[in-house]
Amino acid sequence: MSDKFSRMFAEYSEGLRYEDVPPESAHEVKRRILDSIGVSMAAFSEDAPKAARTYAYDFEQPRGATVWGAPVRVTPEAATFANGLMTRYLDFNDTYLSLEPLHPSDMIPGIIALCEWGSKPVRDIFTATAAAYEVSVNLCDAASVRAHQWDHVVYTGIGAACGAGRLLGQSAEQIEHTISIASVPHASMRQTRAGELSMWKGAAAANSVRNAVFASLVSQRGLTGPYQPFAGEMGFFAQLLGGVPFDDAALKSVADGAAPTRIQDTYIKKWPVEYHAQSAVDAAVELRDELGGDINLIDSIHLDTFKVSYEIIAKDPEKWAPKTRETADHSLMYIVAAALLDGTVTKHSFSQQMLDSADIKTLLGKTTLEEDDALTEGYPEGIPNRITIKTKDGGTLSREVSFPRGHAMNKMSDVEVEQKFLLNVEDVWTEEQARRVIDLIWHIDEQPGLSELMEAMRI
């Protein structure tokens, strides 16, 4: 059933051992687990996560996987969807930017759910996560599906299938079937992120990972997937990439069976906004400080951004007057206005009260935006955004930021990752409980199972 790429991804994943994961990559796995759980708890009470949990509760299973924060265990597919949606919902989990953007920690809830449900050694989370990141991040360098109107979560599904197959101890042949079943029936349209955005924006990746978990479970029991999922006559390349295959050079580490390091190239977010706006928030906060916090001094705001940022978070007319939180956290103009107004951006920046705020609307009315070719040249190495403010007294203030805090070129320290976590969980856990979870995650590779961590996470 092989084609070159399904075989490459499967053989890489099957061959990876815990000892092959470099210490630096293993540490990043811990940081991503900590960050994923923190952002999921911050979203626990939001409407879409509530809907996903209500769905999951219908599939209770005594020896299943835990719905994070709840005393309920459900099927691994249902847990993957509920926990994955929580992780992604606030747009606050990690990111990688290249020809295709990705939020690779979207895959972690599925890997953890399978580990808990299958009573697998906790160390297997490290090999599965490292494999999933290595494949999916390299795919972002290999081709853009967004350029053909498909959504990046198709890469999330492929990476998650590799991680799921590795965690279950599948043979390379079985992992190929897992990849095929996760990919061929489940191509996701980019319409998810076009125009006014709905709750599905935060659910698409969770659904893709759920599909990968399902694929791993049925392939484990002998179900075969479509042959030649990538290179076949009507496969991935023909349908999603205009007939052009992946760039071999971008997949060299996978083809060579190299130690997994790509997780080290991904970025932890400082702000709960679409990643291309992270640098704009940094710039806006600095400018607000220069204004002494007085937004009444602002006469006009001009944003210069790069091509990909313009296409994803600026070009749609809905972004100038967002009606949903999903649209607002994907609106460069709204995000900058919120940062100038409050000096920070939190999940509360996208409440209905803020969406309706007269101050926000006033700042948006003073804002103009252009795509700058010079800034485009700085992407994807950086994410350069520039904000220029003219004040009512005729003055001009300007800030340009390319590497926001958390970027691979400006990494957060472990202390900063912990601080982000503590802020995210302060509404649901006591500080003592939060510190307990932090300690368990830093030492997760020493745990005999996941039950102690899941118990500590209960709200």
Q: What is the pLDDT of residues 197-254, one digit of tens each?
A: 999 999 999 999 999 999 999 999 999 999 999 999 999 999 999 999 999 999 999 9
Residue 128 has what pLDDT? 98
pLDDT at 1 over 70: no
pLDDT at 20 over 80: yes
Residue 240 has what pLDDT? 98
| One-letter identity of residue 67 | V
| One-letter identity of residue 256 | D
**Architecture field, domain 275-401:** 2-Layer Sandwich (3.30)
Identify the CATH number of the domain defined by range 4-270+429-456: 1.10.4100.10
pLDDT band at 2 (very low <50, low <70, confident <90, very high): confident
Q: Which of 1-5, 191-195, 384-388 has the highest mean pLDDT?
A: 384-388
CA 216 to CA 179: how far, in whole Å?
A: 8
Among candidates 113, 119, 120, which has minimal Cα distance to 73? 113
Q: Is 377 exposed, middle or buried (0-12, 13-18, 19+ CB in 10 A)?
A: exposed
**358-406 tens-digit pLDDT:** 999 999 999 999 999 999 999 999 999 999 999 999 999 999 999 999 9
Count of CB atoms situated within 10 Å of the CB of 57: 14
| One-letter identity of residue 45 | S
Mean per-residue pLDDT of the chain: 97
Task: Find the helix packing angle between 431-442 and 23-42, rounded to 10°.
Answer: 150
Residue 142 has what pLDDT? 98
Count of CB atoms situated within 10 Å of the CB of 321: 17
**139-180 tens-digit pLDDT:** 999 999 999 999 999 999 999 999 999 999 999 999 999 999
Instruction: Work out the end-to-end distance of the chain between its first and last CA atoms, rounded to an integer number of angstroms.
Output: 46
CA 234 to CA 236: how far, in whole Å?
A: 7
Q: In what order do the strands lie in the sheet with 385-391?
A: 367-371, 298-305, 385-391, 396-401
Listed in order, the ranges of the chain carrying CATH 1.10.4100.10 are 4-270+429-456
Structure tokens at 31: 């940081």
409 Cβ neighbours under 8 A, 6+ residues apart: 381, 382, 403
**265-319 tens-digit pLDDT:** 999 999 999 999 999 999 999 999 999 999 999 999 999 999 999 999 999 999 9
62 Cβ neighbours under 8 A, 6+ residues apart: 73
pLDDT at 424 over 90: yes
- Contact yes or no for 126/445 (Cβ under 8 A): yes
CA 378 to CA 287: how far, in whole Å?
A: 22
pTM for this predicted structure = 0.95
- Contact yes or no for 243/235 (Cβ under 8 A): no
Which phi and psi angles does 203 have, rounded to 5°? -105, -20
Listed in order, the ranges of the chain carrying CATH 3.30.1330.120 are 275-401
